[in-house]
Amino acid sequence: MRSRTTSSLLLAAGGLLLGSVPLAVAEWPQGVPLDDFITAERDIALQGVLANIGPNGTKVPGAGAGFVIASPSRTSPPYFYTWTRDAALTLKTLVDDFIFGNTALRPYIDDYIHSQAILQTVTNPSGALLPNGGGLGEPKFNPDGSRYNGNWGRPQRDGPPLRAVAMIAYSNWLIENGELERVNKTIWPVIANDLSYVGQYWYVPSPFPPKGHNDANSGASRNSTGFDLWEEVSGSSFFTTHAQYRSLVEGAELAQALGQPCIACAQAPQVLCFLDSAYWNGEYFTGNINGNFNRDGVDANVMLASIAGFDINASCDSPSLQPCHSRMLSNFKVFVDTFRNPSLYPINSQFPSTSGIALGRYPEDIYYTGNPWYLITTGAAEFLYDAVARWSKQGFITVDDTSLAFFTDLYPDAEAKTYKKCSKTGPFRQILDAVTAYADSFVSVVQQYTPSDGSLAEQFLKTAPGSPTSASDLTWSYAAFVGMTHRREGHFPPSWAQSVTPAPETCSPGSTAGIYAPATAAGAPNVTIGCTSTVLFVVNASTYYGENIYLSGNSSDLGKWYLDSAMPMQSSNYTDARPMWFAQIPLTAGETVTYKYAREQDCGQPWIWETVNRTLEVPACVEGSTEVLLETDDAFVGERGSSGAC
């Protein structure tokens, strides 16, 4: 079936692929059997991923080698950047595909490692690699790997552990294939920085709730640990904690195989203790805690964490919280049922209550009006395929009070007991078949809302006809589709959780001081602790309400003339008499900087740039000082803006 080409399948299925089909024009031909859809879409999805990776990706001209661009969409929404999370999850899928036999992917993986070694050294608004690893928490960079200076939800602490996990999978394969030396010299130093970051920053420096108690909605004020994977709320996220745990478990094993130290890895049992005790509320895992969020905490991030950590060799009661874990099954039911509400997602009212439906990030979502996401709907299928695979392998299914409701939906006679595989038609088989059919029904939903050219955007509308919306050709949507097909075909990623032990009874969390160094053997520049001097940029610029002033310049700290990376200035001292905008920025000592100011007008009107270029020499630094060493006294040279009155 794999040999049948996509276009011939589509032509056979209805002749819809004549010429290029614009996004959202036609749905995937509905008559096509699910298996055929999956076979065709799998190839489209893999090509979709590769088209978004530099330097040769056909949809991302200008992207640097190994940089995975989130989407070719440059505006509405602006996704022409590389996110550490999206890239790492995508690479993990490519590494798996490579291990399953797709050897053509190897150059992409090698480029990725090289790109990330460099990226780790790029000083950015979250910090720098040296001395304390702060810069590793930066969520996104420009497509050439330079820093992004705009306002953003930062730091995001899932990037480093996800990146470590992708690289560890590849490293383990290399070791098995006789390349231990290469891993030791080249890849381990990149991984070690990320593990250091996890060990240093995973911990919330405030008391944990007692074991079994969830205080997500208690409103207790706590220190935040970082922004969640959806880049919206600062606190602790299940997804992030789960990725941190996994990276330390696998990191410890790899370190041992290489004879390397991993001080951070000793935190693994404590991260597990937190994962195990802080998020579960008796019915589902609260997606985000340790912050005040006006949400119920039902969030796709939990299911996505579980599938990312799937291990066919881990038992259903493994502390690694596999899809077949009773709590995960309960969580899954609560999550899916939330989206059955027809006033939330009207398109779901067409589906019977036993069928898969369209799923989104969390019920309170308003981003692009809050719609279903392709990657989450395929994620639900993957979750169920994972559970089925594990039950098949172990030959029994244990239903308990926690998971009973999940099972009765699909097998009404289910009881809290263990069903053993004893006949070809008995309850064990019937449950497996029902869950498999349920999994397939989520893929059918995706099929129904996939345009005929197979392109996968980020979202599809929650109202009929469910047209694609938000970012087009989202790399993560494509990667999620490919990953789902692996599980459906019975291809499982390498084990990691086989021997994990339960969390300690009492949590005593801590943080380990990280050791950071540029991974020069992998291509990182040999950065040293920089000497910076703080410059206070002050400019007089009369502005109207709704207009903003930015500072742009040639140095990387000023965004290298990228408007997207220009530094936003502040107007908190602005008066009519002194229309002052300012920005306080540490710059590399001794550097000559060229810069100018720009007006960002309201109502989508064009920017207004100054008509002069300014230069400034950054003074010598004073070690350890963050005092302002130079202050400018500029006045905007160029047109004034006028409000578009929109």
Identified catalytic residue from 231, 232, 253, 564: 231
Least distance to ligand NOJ from the beta carbon of 297, Å?
Answer: 17
Q: Is 283 one of the binding residues for ligand NOJ (CB under 6 A)?
A: no
Does the annotation list 152 as a binding residue? yes
8 A C-beta contact, residue 641 and residue 545: no
User: What residues does 141 pair with on adjacent strands?
Assistant: 82
233 within 8 A of 296, measured Cβ to Cβ = no
The count of other CB atoms within 10 Å of the CB of residue 175 is 17
Among 367, 562, 607, 609, binds ligand NOJ (CB under 6 A): 367
Q: Which of 53, 60, 69, 85 touches ligand NOJ by CB under 6 A?
A: 85
Q: How far is the CB of 240 from ligand NOJ (least distance, A)?
A: 12
Q: Is 476 in the site for ligand NOJ (CB under 6 A)?
A: yes
- 293 touching ligand NOJ, by CB under 6 A: no
The strand pairing partners of 234, in sequence order, are: 227
Closest residue to ligand NOJ in the complex (CB): 367
Q: Does residue 481 touch ligand NOJ according to CB under 6 A?
A: no
Q: And the tokens for 446?
A: 């995706």
Distance of alpha carbon 437 from the chain centroid = 28
Nearer to ligand NOJ, 339 or 597 (CB): 339
CA torsion 383→363→367→274, rounded to 10°? -60
Within 13 Å, how many C-alpha atoms sit on residue 408's CB side? 11
Active-site choice (228, 276, 299, 600): 228
The candidate with the shortest Cα–Cα distance to 45, out of 486, 638, 352, 448, is 486
Binding test (CB under 6 A) with ligand NOJ, winner from 10, 41, 54, 86: 86
The answer to whether 150 contacts ligand NOJ (rule: CB under 6 A) is no
Stretch that binds ligand NOJ, among 9-17, 230-238, 348-356, 569-577 (CB under 6 A): 230-238
How many residues of this chain interact with ligand NOJ, rule: CB under 6 A?
11
Phi, psi of 381 (to 5 degrees): -60, -45
How near is the Cβ of 79 to ligand NOJ at its closest, in Å?
Answer: 6
CA distances 345 to 350, 408, 468, Å, are: 10, 24, 14
- Whether 231 is a known active-site residue: answer yes
Phi, then psi, of 257 in degrees rounded to 5? -60, -30
Which of 27, 215, 232, 364 is close enough to bind ligand NOJ by CB under 6 A? 232
**Nearby residues of 207 by Cβ (< 8 Å), 6 or more positions away:** none
Q: Which stretch binds ligand NOJ (CB under 6 A): 78-86, 181-189, 326-334, 415-423?
A: 78-86
The answer to whether residue 79 forms part of the interface with ligand NOJ (CB under 6 A) is: yes
* Minimum distance from residue 434 beta carbon to ligand NOJ (Å): 32
Burial category of 526 from C-beta neighbours within 10 Å (exposed 0-12, middle 13-18, buried 19 and up): exposed
CA distance 269 to 209: 17
- Give 252's Cβ-side CA count (13 Å radius): 17
Is residue 333 near ligand NOJ by the rule CB under 6 A? no
Is 229 a residue that touches ligand NOJ (CB under 6 A)? yes
- Residue 230 as a binder of ligand NOJ (CB under 6 A): the answer is yes
Q: Least distance (Å) from ligand NOJ to the CB of residue 86?
A: 5
Examine the residue annotation and report whether 228 is marked as an active-site residue of this protein: yes
Residue with tokens 């559970």: 387
Query: What crossing angle do the helices spanning 268-278 and 238-258 adopt, rounded to 10°?
Result: 160
Annotated binding-site residues for substrate read 152
* Residues belonging to the active site: 228, 231
Annotated binding-site residues read 152
Which stretches of the chain bind ligand NOJ, using CB under 6 A? Answer: 70, 79, 83, 85-86, 229-232, 367, 476
